[in-house]
Amino acid sequence: MWPKVPEGKESPQSSPVPVQAPMNAGVGSLASVVAPVVMNPASLPSQIPQSSAISAGLRIRGEITGHSDLLIDGQVQGSIRLANSKVTVGPHGSVQADIEAREIVIEGKIRGNLNASENIRLGPKSDVQGSMLTPRVAIEDGARLRGKVEMLRPGEAKRGAAAGQSKTSVISTPIAALKE
């Protein structure tokens, strides 16, 4: 099973991982790789990009934060915290990271805990190894899940987000609590 992490401790994957390699090694900086898909140069300084993508063939390591929706069809290792956004792992996507977002859609492969304040959807080809914490979950036939599912009331998720808490520690239940 996905390893449990004691409450209050960050899992290794949720720790910020410094971007290490230069672009020519296939590992780019987040600022250069997570670029908006559609940008209007004239309005760029005052607008938050609506959607960003990590395309197939790209591989990045590090912490992704911000306010943009994100489509991942490449490889990501690290942590993804887009609390008010939608994160989609496409059919070619391979993610080794905890994801915290408003909405999470998985069509590819992920090793990490998922925490969505609204909902999580697992597509028919999805392969998830990790825990899920969300008020609503939709799982299509054919999906693969190896991990724990816990449901929250929407209010619970919002309180945690408002306090700036990392939900990953909530997902990973300590052994002592399991034995209650």
Q: Does 162 bind another protein (CB under 8 A)?
A: no
Among 35, 148, 161, 166, indicate the residue that binds another protein (CB under 8 A).
148
Q: Closest CB to another protein among 71 and 122? A: 122
Q: Does 104 bind another protein (CB under 8 A)?
A: no
Q: Which stretch binds another protein (CB under 8 A): 1-9, 16-24, 46-54, 86-94?
A: 1-9
Q: Does 171 bind another protein (CB under 8 A)?
A: no
Residues in CB range of 103: below 8 A, 6 or more apart: 85, 86, 87, 116, 118, 119, 120, 121
Q: Does 144 bind another protein (CB under 8 A)?
A: yes
Q: Write the CA distances from 146 to 37, 70, 97, 129, integer angstroms.
A: 32, 24, 15, 5
Q: Could you say which residues in the range 108-137 bind another protein, by CB under 8 A?
A: 122, 137
Q: Write the CA distances from 155 to 50, 104, 117, 159, 168, integer angstroms.
A: 25, 18, 9, 6, 17
